[in-house]
Every structure is written in structure tokens, then in C-alpha cells.
């Protein structure tokens, strides 16, 4: 029986590829023999990551993308198709946001709300719209959208006690939208053999204030925050043929946060 988790010869695009989650994800996919396209606006970080992956003996390339621009998305799709013959997996991981991201609900201008929804949810829409059509004509493809547990449940604001942090209001609308848009896409493109799934992580440790980490850990079934690398297994599973009969699914990776 073939190794179902082998991503050999798969061409995988990861938007936001040089960020906290993106960089870990790109390395993991490359380790499983995929050719990884580090798609990001940050040219320096993206180029450095791609070079580092290649120096480890794997295959990666940096390409610029602005997920809010249809022209930029199509330029990347055409570039990858021209060089590699196609795109097997597209991972929507980019996390665009405004400078006032994190403001309390009562302080959020409607212009900020609109802009964040437009950039993040709208950007995922544009990416999915363009790459799904490309995959449709190949009659093969796989799209993975990063959502969140806060697209599923309301925030526990007590975990932010003692910090200046909060859960941005637009985040809940954006991530909830991504989860259901994923289901829509799966239903729409299933007959073309294009699968679409989402991953909803719980809280991922990123040097948050100690009080937040303690509060969050107490409220989590496994008693701790997640680590970025713990998203790699679920992602490789969805990107590989191991999940060939799974579409429209939201895979929750949250240490049990949403079960209580």
C-alpha cells in the first residue's frame, strides 16, 4: 500500500507563508516532499524561508502575492502553472489586518470593520474563486482554509483578564464566514473533484503575556496552549491522499477547548 501521507510531486501554495504559522507549515509540507510555494507580501522573509528550505534538501520557492488583489492572485497562479504545470493544493493562511486590530468592540470604527472583513474574508474569497476555477478545469484540486475556534464559539473574555488583549470583533465574523464558505465551496466544486476543507486552531502560543497563557491553559481541556508545529500533522493529513474522501469538513485542533 502506498504511503498516503507522502506529498511527493504535489505543488502546494501557502499564502502568508513566511508568518508564524506559515513558516512552520511550509517546512512541514516540504519535509513530506511537496514543492512549496511560499506566497507572501514580505519578500525578504519569504525569500529567506524558501532558501532555508532548499538548503535542507527540499523544494521551495518564494512568490509575491497580495490576497486582496485579483490580479496578484492570478499572476501567481499563472506563474506556478507555467513553471510546474499546475497547483495541487492551495492553503489560505494569510492574516491581513488593519493597524487598529485588537481595539475593543465599542471603539471599532465601521470603516475598520469593513476593511478587515474585506481584506481577510474577501481575500480568501478571491483566492478560492480564482484557484478553484483553475482546479476545476484540471478536475483535481485541494483547498485548505485556516479558520479558528472563534469562528465556532463565542470568546471566553475572562482569559484576557490582566492584559491589554482582547478578541477582535471582526475576527469572529471573518472566521465564522470562512468555515461556512468552505462548506459552500465543497458543495459547489465537488463534482469537479476539487476538495475544500478548513482547519480551526485553538490558541497558539506566541509569547503572549504570562497571565493570558495561564488563564487560557486553565480553561483548556489539555491544560495548555497549542504550539504552531501541532498544526502540521492535521494540515499534512488534509493536503495528502489520506483525506481523499473528506471535503467540507472543519478540522478542529484546539486541545479540547470547544468541547466544554
Per-residue burial over 117-131, b if 16 or more Cβ lie within 10 Å, else e, is eebbbbbbbbbbebb
| pLDDT for residue 5 | 87
Within a domain: 26: yes
| pLDDT for residue 3 | 74
Within a domain: 3: no
Distance CA 45, CA 33 (A): 22
Within a domain: 30: yes
Is 171 marked active-site?
yes
Q: Answer whether 15's CB lies under 8 Å from 87's CB.
A: no
Within a domain: 162: yes
| pLDDT for residue 74 | 98
Q: pLDDT under 50 in the chain at which residues?
A: none
Within a domain: 5: no
- Give the number of other Cβ atoms within 10 Å of residue 152's Cβ: 17
What's the CATH code of the domain at 119? 3.40.50.720
Within a domain: 19: yes
Distance CA 15, CA 2 (A): 29
What domain count does the chain have? 1
Look up the domain containing 136 and give its range. Answer: 11-254
Q: In what side-by-side order are the strands of the sheet with 250-253?
A: 59-64, 35-40, 11-15, 89-92, 141-146, 194-201, 250-253
* Given 95, 150, 160, 171, the catalytic residue: 171
pTM for the complete prediction?
Answer: 0.97
Within a domain: 141: yes
Within a domain: 221: yes
Distance CA 185, CA 180 (A): 9
Could you tell me which residues come within 8 angstroms of residue 45 by beta carbon, excluding any fewer than 6 positions away?
18, 23
| pLDDT for residue 255 | 98
Amino acid at each position: 500500500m502506498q504511503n498516503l501521507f507522502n506529498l511527493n510531486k504535489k505543488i502546494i501554495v501557502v499564502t502568508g507563508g513566511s508568518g508564524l504559522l506559515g513558516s512552520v507549515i511550509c517546512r512541514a509540507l516540504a519535509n513530506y516532499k511537496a514543492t512549496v510555494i511560499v506566497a507572501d507580501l514580505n519578500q525578504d522573509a519569504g525569500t529567506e524561508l524558501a532558501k532555508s528550505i532548499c538548503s535542507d534538501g527540499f523544494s521551495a520557492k518564494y512568490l509575491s502575492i497580495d490576497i486582496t488583489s485579483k490580479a496578484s492572485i492570478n499572476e501567481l497562479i499563472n506563474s506556478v502553472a507555467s513553471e510546474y504545470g499546475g497547483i495541487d493544493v492551495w492553503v489560505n493562511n494569510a492574516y491581513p489586518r488593519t493597524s487598529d486590530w485588537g481595539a475593543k468592540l465599542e471603539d471599532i470604527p465601521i470603516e475598520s470593520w469593513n476593511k478587515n472583513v474585506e481584506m481577510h474574508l474577501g481575500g480568501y474569497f478571491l483566492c478560492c474563486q480564482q484557484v478553484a476555477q483553475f482546479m476545476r478545469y484540471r478536475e483535481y484540486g485541494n483547498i485548505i482554509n485556516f479558520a479558528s475556534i472563534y469562528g465556532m464559539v463565542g470568546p471566553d473574555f475572562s482569559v484576557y483578564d490582566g492584559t491589554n488583549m482582547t478578541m477582535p470583533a471582526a475576527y469572529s465574523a471573518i472566521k465564522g464566514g470562512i468555515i461556512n464558505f468552505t462548506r459552500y465551496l465543497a458543495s459547489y466544486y465537488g463534482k469537479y473533484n476539487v476538495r475544500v476543507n478548513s482547519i480551526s486552531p485553538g490558541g497558539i502560543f506566541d509569547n503572549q503575556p504570562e497571565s493570558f497563557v495561564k488563564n487560557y491553559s486553565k480553561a483548556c481541556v489539555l491544560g495548555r496552549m497549542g504550539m504552531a508545529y501541532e498544526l502540521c500533522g492535521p494540515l499534512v493529513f488534509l493536503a495528502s491522499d489520506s483525506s481523499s474522501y473528506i471535503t467540507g469538513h472543519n478540522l478542529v485542533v484546539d486541545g479540547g477547548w470547544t468541547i466544554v
